[in-house]
C-alpha cells in the first residue's frame, strides 16, 4: 500500500498544515500547530504512520517529497535516529513493516491536496 505525506507552513515558521493520502482519500489538517517547514514534514510523516496503524495493513511505503526528511527517516529505520523528530519516528514505527521513499513534488498526492487549499 502507498501512503503519501506532505507538510508545510505559511509563513515559515508559521501555522503548520499537513496532508496524508491513503487509499485515495486525503486527510488534511489545516492547523497542526506552529513550527517550521521541517517540523511540518515530520508531523506529516508521523501522521502517515498513524494512518498506517489505523488502516491495519501489514506493509506500506510512505511517500514524501522532502529528500531531507526521507533520508533522516531511513536513517532512523536503520537504527541511526538523531534526537528529536527522528527519535519520535523511530519509536512510532517500532515493530512495523514499512519503507519511506522520496518522490517528486508533482507525484505527491498529499502535496497536491495541500496546494488545492491555496487556490
pLDDT of residue 118: 79
Instruction: Give the pLDDT confidence of 8-60 residue by residue, as tens digits.
Output: 998 999 999 999 999 999 999 999 999 999 999 999 999 999 999 999 888 99
98: domain range? 2-117
Instruction: Give the pLDDT confidence of 76-115 residue by residue, as tens digits.
Output: 999 898 888 898 999 999 888 899 999 999 999 999 999 9
Domain tally for the chain? Answer: 1
Query: Over the chain, what HEC string results?
Result: CEEEEEEEEECCCEEEEEEEEECCEEEEECCCCEECHHHHHHHHHHHHHHHHHHHCCCCEEEEECCHHHHHHHHHHHCCCCCCCHHHHHHHHCCCCCEEEEECCHHHCHHHHHHHHHCC
The domain that contains 93 carries what CATH number? 3.30.420.10
Amino acid at each position: 500500500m502507498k501512503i503519501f505525506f506532505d507538510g508545510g507552513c505559511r509563513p515559515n515558521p508559521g501555522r503548520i498544515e499537513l496532508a496524508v493520502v491513503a487509499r485515495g482519500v486525503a486527510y488534511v489538517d489545516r492547523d497542526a500547530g506552529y513550527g517550521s517547514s521541517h517540523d511540518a514534514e515530520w508531523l506529516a510523516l508521523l501522521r502517515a504512520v498513524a494512518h498506517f496503524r489505523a488502516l491495519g495493513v501489514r506493509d506500506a511505503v510512505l511517500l514524501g517529497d522532502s529528500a531531507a526528511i526521507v533520508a533522516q527517516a531511513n536513517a532512523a529505520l536503520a537504527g541511526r535516529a538523531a534526537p528529536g523528530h527522528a527519535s519520535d519516528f523511530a519509536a512510532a514505527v517500532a515493530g512495523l513493516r514499512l519503507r519511506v521513499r522520496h518522490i517528486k513534488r508533482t507525484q505527491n498526492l498529499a502535496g497536491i491536496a495541500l496546494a488545492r487549499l491555496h487556490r
